[in-house]
Structure 1
C-alpha cells in the first residue's frame, strides 16, 4: 500500500494535543480533508490504534495554519474536532487550548518570525472570526518552551503564553444570548444559552441531582445523566438557531455549583459526550461571562464581582483556571475581552502518513 506523507508539527496546546498542519499541505475540499484527518488521527477505533489520536476528544484535535487573509492578523487558524470512534469531523467550533499552540507552531513552521525576547502573534480563528493576541517567550529569537508556569491538567511547568481574546461575543450564533432570554427551560431544566467564544447551554448541577463536585469518572459513568443532558442540549441547540446538533459538538454543555476551594464558582464542562478532564479555554470564557451576568442560572451560586477587569476563578475537575474579564455593566453585561494564561510544548515533527487511496497529495 502506497502512502502520502504530510508535514506536521505535533504539539500540546494547553490541556489538548494534536497535529498542526500548514493548510496549504492539505486537500482544499472539505470532504477529502475530512477523510485525511480521520485517517491521520485513526478515528473509528477506541484507542485510535491506526493513527496518532489518543483515544479521547482532547487528543483528537487538529490545527491548520496559513498566512492570514485578515489585515489585522498574522496567522489564520482553522480548527477541526475529529471524533474518537464515530468517524466524524466537526469544522464548526474552535478550540482555545489548541490555539495556545498556534503561535509556537507558526514560529516552528516559519509562518512567523520572532521579533525579540517576546513575540506577539495576532491570530484569526477562521471557524468563529475571533481575534486573539498571543504573547510568546522567544529569547534570542528562539521559541522557548521551558518555564515556571503551571496550568491545571498538565504535569510540570512551562513557558507562559498569554492569550487575549477579542470579538468572541456571538461568534457562532451572532448573539450574546442566542434565544433572547437569560434563562430557558427544556425538559424541566433551567439553562442559560450563551455564545461567548463557544456557544453553550449552562445549567445548575443540582437541577440534575448532582453536587457539581463529581469526578470525571463519576460523571462519565452516569449514563442516565448524559442521556438527560443530551436531550436538553439538542433542544437548546435548536432554540439557539444551530439546527439539528445531533452530530455536532456545539453547543457545549456546562454545569455550575457554588465554589468550595476558594474559587469564584465551581464548573464542569462537557465536550459534549464525555466530561472534559479540565476546562476548555473557549468554554471558560463563556462560563465566566455567564457567572458575571445577573439573571442567569449562576444567580445565588457566587458573590458576583462588580469591578472590571474581574479575575474569575473557575474550579473544574482538575483544579482551577483564571479568566481575566474586561467588561462593562450598564443595563446589561458587555464583554470587551478575556485574557488567559496557557502553556504549550512541541512534541514531535515530521510527516504523518495516510493511505494514498484516501488522498494522493498535491
Structure 2
C-alpha cells in the first residue's frame, strides 16, 4: 500500500481531499491512479474510497506555494467522474476555492495577518486569480472556524469567507462571450431550435429557459435525475454548446471527453418552492430561479462558478437570464434560488467604449476542516 498526507475539507457546498503538491509524486502521470483510488472509482457506489457518489463530493485539490509576485499559493482542482476511471482537470471548483484559503492558512503557507488574512491565489485550471479573506482566531493565530455566517445547503453557521474572483471572464476561452453574442439559437438534434446564452465566467456555461424545455425551473435534483428524457436533452444542449466553444468535435466527444465543461443550467422567473431540506423558499427572496447540471447530475445547490456566470448573464441585455430576471434598475446583487435555498452573487460588470469588462465577481462562503491524516491506495 502507498500512503499520502491529505486533509478532507468542505468548501461551500462541496467537499474533497486537499493535498500539498510536495506530498504527491513528482511524476504527474501517477496522479490520476492515486486520486481515483482515493475516491473509490470506478465503482459508482465508491465503497472502497472517500467519494460521496455525486460530483460535489468528489473533489481533489492540489495546493503549493507560488513563485509569482502578488500570488501566495496556486492550486489545481481535479473532478473525479463518479463511476468512471477519469479525473477531469478542465474546470475550477468555486466552492472548493473557498477551502483553499483556510487550508493555506492552517498549513502555514501564507503570512498571517490579524484579524483577517487575504490569501491571494491562482487557479491552475483556468489561469485566473482569486482572493479569499480568511478570519484569524486571535488565540490560536490560525483560521477562525467558528462564526455566524450561514450559506444555503450547509447546516449551521461558520466563519465568513469572502471569495472574490478577479477578472473571471474568459477562464477557458479567453473571452466573456465565446460566440460574441448574449443570445444564441442552438439547433438541438431531435428537438429543434432553442435560445441559449453561452458565456465563460470562472468556468464556461450554457443557460436555457426552463419553460422552453418543458420544465418549471423549480424541480428538485431527484426529479431531474430520474427523468431520462430531460437528462438526455440537457446533455444534447451541453454538448452542442461544447462543440460551439471548441471543446469537442461531436456530442459523443463532449460526453466522453469533456463531461465537466461547459456546465448546463436552466432558469426561470422567481418562483416559490420547497428545497431539498423541506424548507420553503419564497419567490420574493430571489431575483432568478435556477438549476444546474454538473457531470450529468442536477447539483444539489448551485456550483459557485455557475452562480458567477448566471449573475453576470443577469446583467447582459437580451440574455436568457435577463429576459426572466426580476426587474432591477442596477444589477449589483443577484439572489439566485437553487435546490438548497438562495445565494447572493455580486458581479461587477462595466461597459467601456462598447466593450464589457468584468473586474470581479464576489460571493460569501464558509469552509471547514473535517479530517486530516493519511489516505492509503494500492501500489
Q: Aligned pair in 2 of structure 1 residues 167, 28: CA closer, same or farther (>3 Å)?
A: farther
Which residue pairs with 1:359 in the alignment?
Answer: none
1:251 aligned to 2:246? no
1:110 aligned to 2:119? no
Query: Which stretch shifts more, 142-151 or 20-29?
Result: 20-29
Structure 1 vs Structure 2 CA RMSD: 1.4
Runs of 4+ in 1 over 6 A off after TM superposition: none
Which residue pairs with 2:203 in the alignment?
Answer: 198
1:333 and 1:222 mapped to 2: Cα distance? 38
Tell me the TM-score normalised to structure 2 length. 0.90
In the alignment, which of 195, 211, 223 is matched to residue 216 of structure 2? Answer: 211
Which residue pairs with 2:344 in the alignment?
Answer: 322
CA contact (8 A) 1:292 1:333 kept: no
CA contact (8 A) 2:264 2:294 kept: yes
Residues 62-73 of structure 1 aligned to structure 2 (within 5 Å): 62-73=60-71
Which digits, 9 at most, give the CA deviation of each residue in 1:291-339, with x for residues without a partner? 110021124312454436x011111111111011112245364322111
Which residue pairs with 1:164 in the alignment?
Answer: 164
Which residue pairs with 2:275 in the alignment?
Answer: none
1:72 deviates by 1.7
Query: Which stretch shifts more, 110-119 or 312-321?
Result: 110-119
CA contact (8 A) 2:77 2:92 kept: yes
Residues 89-108 of structure 1 aligned to structure 2 (within 5 Å): 89-108=87-106
1:233 aligned to 2:229? no
Structure 1: which 5+ residue stretches go unaligned?
357-362
Which residue pairs with 2:309 in the alignment?
Answer: 286
Which residue pairs with 1:127 in the alignment?
Answer: 125
CA contact (8 A) 1:123 1:132 kept: yes
Which residue pairs with 2:247 in the alignment?
Answer: 242
Query: Which stretch shifts more, 137-146 or 180-189?
Result: 180-189
Which residue pairs with 1:137 in the alignment?
Answer: 135
1:201 and 1:15 mapped to 2: Cα distance? 21
CA contact (8 A) 1:69 1:76 kept: no
1:173 aligned to 2:173? yes
What SS does structure 1 have at the residue aligned with 2:96?
helix
What SS does structure 2 have at the residue aligned with 1:100?
helix
Residues 270-281 of structure 1 aligned to structure 2 (within 5 Å): 270-281=293-304
1:255 and 1:58 mapped to 2: Cα distance? 19
1:222 aligned to 2:227? yes
1:352 deviates by 0.8
1:27 deviates by 2.6
1:180 deviates by 2.2
1:241 deviates by 1.6
Query: Which stretch shifts more, 181-190 or 219-228?
Result: 181-190
1:304 and 1:64 mapped to 2: Cα distance? 42
2:360 and 2:227 mapped to 1: Cα distance? 36
CA contact (8 A) 1:291 1:304 kept: no
Which residue pairs with 1:360 in the alignment?
Answer: none
Which residue pairs with 2:321 in the alignment?
Answer: 298
Tell me the TM-score normalised to structure 1 length. 0.94
CA contact (8 A) 1:186 1:236 kept: no
Which residue pairs with 2:365 in the alignment?
Answer: 342
1:111 deviates by 1.2
What SS does structure 1 have at the residue aligned with 2:165?
strand
What SS does structure 1 have at the residue aligned with 2:237?
helix
In the alignment, which of 46, 49, 67 is matched to residue 47 of structure 2? Answer: 49
1:68 and 1:116 mapped to 2: Cα distance? 22
CA contact (8 A) 2:308 2:345 kept: yes
What SS does structure 1 have at the residue aligned with 2:164?
strand
2:200 and 2:66 mapped to 1: Cα distance? 24
Q: Aligned pair in 2 of structure 1 residues 193, 29: CA closer, same or farther (>3 Å)?
A: farther
